[in-house]
Copies of this chain bind each other. A is one copy, B any other.
Amino acid sequence: MKLYSYFRSSASYRVRIALNLKNLPYEYVPVHLLRDGGEQLKPEYRCVHPDGIVPALVEDGQPAIQQSLAIIEYLEETHPEPPLLPRSAVDRAHARSIALQVACEIHPLDNLRVLKYLKHTMRVEDDAKDAWYRYWIELGFSTLETRLAADPRTGALCVGDTPTIADLCLIPQIFNANRFKIDTTRYPTLQRIYDHAMQIDAFAQAAPGEQPDSE
Question: Is A190 positioned at the interface, with any CB of B under 8 Å from its CB?
Answer: no
Give the residues in chain B near A109, CB-CB below 8 Å: 108-109, 114
- Give the distance in Å from the alpha carbon of A103 to the alpha carbon of B70 in the complex: 12
Interface string of A58-88 (1 = CB under 8 A from B): 0000110111011101100110000000000
Chain A, interface size category, equals 35 or more
Known: A51-B143, A114-B109, A147-B50. A104 touches B101 (CB 8 A): no
Q: Is A128 an interface residue (CB 8 A)?
A: yes
Known contacts A66-B101, A104-B107, A109-B109, then 6 further A-B pairs from the complex at CB < 8 Å, ordered by chain A residue: A67-B104, A69-B104, A74-B89, A74-B96, A78-B89, A117-B135
Enumerate chain A interface residues (CB-CB to B < 8 A).
50-53, 62-63, 65-67, 69-71, 73-74, 77-78, 89-90, 92-94, 96-97, 99-101, 103-105, 107-109, 114, 117, 121-122, 124, 128, 131-132, 135, 143, 146-147, 150-151
